[in-house]
Amino acid sequence: MLILLPPSEGKNAHTEGSPFEFEDLSFPELAEQRAQVLAALTEVSAREDAMEILGVGATLANEVARNISLHTEPAAKAHDIYSGVLFEALNYASLDEAAQQRADESILVISALWGAVRFADRIPPYRLSMSVKLEPLGKLASWWKKRLTPVLDAAAGDDLIVDARSSTYAAAYKPTNDNSVAVNVFQLRNGVPKVVSHFAKHTRGEVARFLVQQPVAPTNKDELLALIQSKWEASLVEDKKGVALNILLSEGHKFTTAS
């Protein structure tokens, strides 16, 4: 099983630690592409109009400036770098050792800078969204799609893919095997199911956590549905985009972080 996650916009910075090394990252066949994106990001981040190009506000000026020196910034494992609602709900640090190992093996974070990384990969904090048009590469989602598809399809094989990404990051890779399921989240409001936006990340983080806690991973969509239904109200729905696992939360559902 592979679990696809988006990165968080915010990242945890570390004051100590050696810099990252391209050759130490998962999917070393993407090293050249990662170097191209990093070079373009470094150049853009030094420009006067960097904030506008990267689509961020003035309060993030320090993070954009840090992009210029990512080769020398202290790096840490990806699960320590990514923060935010999804990763707080997943709460890697509180998982037992076996679940952490399953997370390291099954979770892929789709990244505008790295393409894809595993939780144990050491990276520095960076500021770059998949929606950015980064010259001379162009729109990153389109640029990465051509390069990620053969690599991640090979990594997935026929295994079940649980896709918990936002649409921005889903645009960078569409699994081609017939064993992938996107995770959608709804909540009852006045008796009517409504799409959950921001807090969908929280539930997707809970789903990822729940899956890596299982000693035996589901191998297909039906096994996934049966497992998820042991904790949530859920159904499988097929449309022109593919198969989705729709999770329906109750009206009184509380979004709390695992501990």
pLDDT digits (tens, 9 = 90+) for 204-244: 999 999 999 999 999 999 999 999 999 999 999 998 789 99
Contact 33, 147 (CB under 8 A): yes
Q: Tens digit of pLDDT for each residue in 133-171? A: 999 999 999 999 999 999 999 999 999 999 999 999 999
**At what angle are helices 31-45 and 140-156 packed, to 10 degrees?**
150
| Band of residue 254 on the pLDDT scale cut at 50, 70, 90 | confident
DSSP collapsed to 3 states, 200-237: HHHHHHHHHHHHHCCCCCCCCHHHHHHHHCCCCEEEEE
- Say yes or no to pLDDT of 257 above 70: no
Task: Quote the tokens at residue 133.
Answer: 């048009």
Q: Tens digit of pLDDT for each residue in 81-135? A: 999 999 999 999 999 999 999 999 999 999 999 999 999 999 999 999 999 999 9
pTM score: 0.94
For the chain, the first-to-last Cα distance in angstroms comes to: 24
